[in-house]
Amino acid sequence: HRKVIILCYILATCSNLGLDPTIIFYMGQNRSHDLDSSDAHFVDVIHTGAGILGQWGPNGHADFYVNGGTSQPGCLSTSLIKTLSCDHTKVTPYFIESINSKNGFWAVPCTNRISYNLGLCNPSSDKEYVLMGEHVSHKARGIFYLSTNANKPYALGFPGGRRPPYIP
């Protein structure tokens, strides 16, 4: 274990991905076991059920709030339990799709959900958008928001249908 950690710091390649980290086991006062940016050289977190079953964060170097971080499209059910568990587990198909997505899950830097929902997060350059998922840049820092489709394919591609500034 120790050798792996040393190698990670030498190569600067170790990363940790949080897929809607749960709040269930960490509701006490001791937050020392929570996922945070000190856990790896790069920690990215994808939030889909934040504040309900998932932690609100931010937890990593880059935190992505999909569809505002809660209430995922396609998850509404007559059962509250099914809706909430769907929001929390929807992170998995998003990440899986990110591996081979031709469109990509492009996110905009934004300080909070209200600003994002009001359309106030408009980067000055296309280079400020960040690709979420498997191909995230380890240089990404901050809080990011993005929207998805309710059904596959979930990724909407680059905002406005424009060509992204780079393709990993």
Write the CATH number for 119.
Answer: 3.40.50.1820
Domain total in the chain: 1
Predicted local distance difference test score (pLDDT) of residue 166: 59
- The answer to whether position 30 is within a domain reads yes
Q: Which of 55-59, 121-125, 136-140, 155-159 has the lowest mean pLDDT?
A: 55-59
Residue 1 lies in a domain: no
| pLDDT value for 96 | 95
pLDDT at 4: 40
In a domain, 3, yes or no: no
CB-based contact 47:146 (threshold 8 Å): no
pTM of the model: 0.84
CA 140 to chain CA mean position, Å: 12
Q: Would residue 4 count as lying in a domain?
A: no
pLDDT computed for residue 143 by the predictor:
98
Q: Which two tokens stand for residue 14?
A: 């170790």
The per-residue pLDDT for range 33-61, each reduced to its tens digit, is 677 777 778 889 999 988 777 777 888 99
Residue 7 lies in a domain: no
